[in-house]
Chain A
Amino acid sequence: MTALARAVGAPATAATLTVTDATGGSRELRLAGRLDAYSISGVWALARAEAARTPNRSVVIEASGVVYCDGAGVAMLVDLLRQERSAAAPVTVRGLKPEFQTLLDQFDPAAFRPPAAAPPERLHAVEEIGRAALIVWRDMVTQIAFVGETSAALWFAIRHPDRVRWKDVWYTCEQVGANALPIVALISFLIGMIIAFQSAVPMRQYGAELFVADLVALAILRELGPLMTAILLAGRSGAAFAAEIGTMKVNEELNALTTMGLDPVRFLVVTRILAALLMVPLLTLFANIIGILGGALTMISFNIPILTYLREVDSLVDIKDLWAGMAKTPAFAILIAGIGCLRGLQTETGAAAVGISATRAVVSGIILLVVVDGVYAFIYYLLDI
């Protein structure tokens, strides 16, 4: 920090500007010292202001005192020369040392005139809506095409299980499943604890803390276990899928697959969807158990022993509730993996594009998860499950 401050604050020789009235009614700006990027900011502003103040008098920049001038100094001189002025009152540079003059001569100030400001293009509201709708429509078409392609590839995988790259599936299972255990455990344990605590405080006023056990178990089994696991995986694996496939696309690896006659959907998407289909139910089961245990910990602090808690859970919660939650997991799995892969395949060129794809995978993944979860809730309500 101090080194930088010294470097910026103390140039070897500062640039100076003195303004005088010369003979013949012209203004003379006498530049001297060192013209580099660190020293010129002050004199640049001064010289510009001075030139602008005298639009009807010719301005002579007397530069014989300049001892050093690099690209920055030349840019400043070009800036002073390029200003639009009447022909009777030009800006001229005089006395610049030949070695600096040759540098300056490489630039034609007229070429650097700022272009006349074009009025910003404004779209009619209708056009804006139309364009936005077109983008949404195209995105929908690709998504529908992708669903079709993926279904076909999955169907092919079911009929020809020997053509599936199981090695890749197991590897992805490890990434998606085993490696996600700690974070899933942490979040579901906290969720269980928090729900139990937040409901135990008011329930205690009615002496009904024991029923918190049912509340926690029902909420976790039916809703929070599957949903939280899915949201975690959307953030974790959905983004990873998008980034992996996106990077492969940027590196032309997807093109390489295509010209080898290997369908990227079968090769990359199917393996990931299969891995997610295997792992999401298992992780959800795990999250359910840990969540209920989290609730148990809170209840112990409310003087309800763990056995009493579990017996209460057992008395009211049915196996049907577990299945109601588990039934959602295949849909969630396909959704997370599918969206992640789709966004990856849609990646445009460049490193930033991979980041954009990962973000889009997470955002659209979570939105769709919530929508699908709502659909399930509605169906369960109609079926009275």
Chain B
Amino acid sequence: MAADPIIRVENLTAGYDAEVLMRDVNFTVNRGEVFVILGGSGSGKSTLLKHMIGLYEPMSGRVLIDGDDIVTAEGEAHYAILRKIGVMYQSGALFGSMTLLENVRLPLEEYTALVDEAMDLLARTKLRLVGLDQFCGHMPAELSGGMQKRAAIARAMALDPTILFLDEPSAGLDPITSATLDELILRLAKSLHITFVIVSHELASIYTVADRVIMLDKRKQGIIAEGDPKMLRDSSDDPWVRQFFRREAAAEAT
């Protein structure tokens, strides 16, 4: 695949208050690839993701989505960027007072002039894509964690975004549910040509889905490895990276 960057992160410095989590981070995500952000607990994976979707303002640096800076864009320009992305949050973050169908319908109600029936049908097709169309009338609380995450993916896809951000899609799921989710990601990436940015630390799933990974480390305040996950496992010269991929205890690395 020819390199065609859809997201550019340039000299991003980010953190909370006085504590800097990452300094001068640079990377790009190519159109159509499944890109995974890796790292140990507390390395700033989710923080990086929240910067990429414009929820947090960076200390310095830029995040360009399709050439537009998500931080400085305002008004219509900002909405235009937001319409290109969909986000699945770690907890699913479905609206608890609405049914699954209403959750998926919500972006359609707000942004399109479709008639009710069309919106229902569209929302149902999205739920169908994640295999949940028979649960349209259920409330989020009535579903298992894995189903909530799938429903959240359906909602994130409601307006057919070009990029989907997934925050820890397989955290807290059993291996089978997690594998189902991986399959879904691959299927969506292939059939809809969606670019995926996934925050994860589940090795099994990374080998299956990832085209490219970056690995964050808190002590180095940035990216310590970048590339194909299997190659990193076999040939990285960073001992910590090798340990991570081989699931070795990190007693000596610290």
A residues contacting B by CB (< 8 A) are 247-248, 251-253, 255-256, 258-262
9 A-B pairs with least C-beta separation: A261-B82, A252-B93, A256-B93, A252-B89, A259-B87, A261-B79, A253-B93, A260-B107, A259-B53
B54 interface contact, C-beta 8 A: yes
A16→B133 CA distance, assembly (Å): 67
A261→B78 CA distance, assembly (Å): 8
B residues contacting A by CB (< 8 A) are 50, 53-55, 78-79, 82-83, 85, 87, 89-91, 93-96, 106-107, 110-111, 155
Chain B residues positioned under 8 Å from A259 (CB to CB): 53-55, 82, 85, 87
Given contacts A260-B106, A260-B107, A260-B110, contact A255 B93 (CB under 8 A): yes
A248→B83 CA distance, assembly (Å): 22
CB distance from A239 to the nearest CB of B (A): 17
- Flag if B95 contacts A253 (CB, 8 Å): yes
A312→B106 CA distance, assembly (Å): 56
Contacting B55 at CB < 8 Å: which of A251, A253, A255? A255
A311→B55 CA distance, assembly (Å): 63
CB distance from B28 to the nearest CB of A (A): 21
- Flag if A261 contacts B83 (CB, 8 Å): yes
Chain A residues positioned under 8 Å from B55 (CB to CB): 255, 258-259
Binding site secondary structure of chain B: mixed
Chain A residues positioned under 8 Å from B83 (CB to CB): 261
A108→B107 CA distance, assembly (Å): 58
A248→B97 CA distance, assembly (Å): 10
Chain B residues positioned under 8 Å from A262 (CB to CB): 106-107, 110
Q: How many A-B residue pairs have CB under 8 A?
A: 44
**What are 12 sample pairs from A and B whose C-beta atoms fall under 8 A apart?**
A251-B91, A253-B94, A253-B96, A255-B50, A255-B87, A256-B155, A258-B55, A259-B53, A259-B55, A259-B85, A260-B106, A261-B79
Chain B residues positioned under 8 Å from A261 (CB to CB): 78-79, 82-83, 110-111
Q: Which residue of B lies closest to A253 (CB)?
A: B93
CB distance from B103 to the nearest CB of A (A): 9
Q: Which residue of B lies closest to A255 (CB)?
A: B55
Chain B residues positioned under 8 Å from A251 (CB to CB): 91, 93, 96
Chain A residues positioned under 8 Å from B54 (CB to CB): 259
- Flag if B89 contacts A255 (CB, 8 Å): yes
Q: For A255, A261, A262, which residue has the most chain B Cβ atoms within 10 angstroms? A: A261
CB distance from B155 to the nearest CB of A (A): 8
Q: Which residue of B lies closest to A163 (CB)?
A: B110
A258→B85 CA distance, assembly (Å): 12
Chain B residues positioned under 8 Å from A258 (CB to CB): 55
CB distance from A341 to the nearest CB of B (A): 15
A255→B78 CA distance, assembly (Å): 15
Q: 10 other contacts beyond A252-B89, A252-B93, with CB at 8 A cut-off?
A: A248-B96, A252-B90, A253-B94, A253-B96, A255-B55, A255-B89, A260-B106, A260-B107, A262-B106, A262-B107
A248→B89 CA distance, assembly (Å): 13
Chain B residues positioned under 8 Å from A260 (CB to CB): 82, 106-107, 110
Chain A residues positioned under 8 Å from B87 (CB to CB): 255-256, 259
CB distance from A97 to the nearest CB of B (A): 29
A247→B82 CA distance, assembly (Å): 24
Q: For B93, B94, B95, which residue has the most chain A Cβ atoms within 10 angstroms? A: B93
CB distance from A265 to the nearest CB of B (A): 14
Q: Which residue of B lies closest to A261 (CB)?
A: B82
Q: Which residue of B lies closest to A257 (CB)?
A: B95
Given contacts A251-B96, A262-B110, contact A256 B82 (CB under 8 A): no
CB distance from B36 to the nearest CB of A (A): 20
Chain A residues positioned under 8 Å from B111 (CB to CB): 261
Chain A residues positioned under 8 Å from B50 (CB to CB): 255
Q: For A255, A260, A261, which residue has the most chain B Cβ atoms within 10 angstroms? A: A260
Q: Which residue of B lies closest to A247 (CB)?
A: B96
Q: Which residue of A lies closest to B90 (CB)?
A: A252
- Flag if B91 contacts A252 (CB, 8 Å): yes
Chain A residues positioned under 8 Å from B85 (CB to CB): 259
CB distance from B165 to the nearest CB of A (A): 8
Chain A residues positioned under 8 Å from B95 (CB to CB): 248, 253, 256
Q: Which residue of A lies closest to B89 (CB)?
A: A252
Q: For B85, B89, B107, B111, which residue has the most chain A Cβ atoms within 10 angstroms? A: B89
A251→B90 CA distance, assembly (Å): 9
Chain A residues positioned under 8 Å from B79 (CB to CB): 261
Q: For A251, A255, A256, A258, which residue has the most chain B Cβ atoms within 10 angstroms? A: A256
CB distance from B90 to the nearest CB of A (A): 7
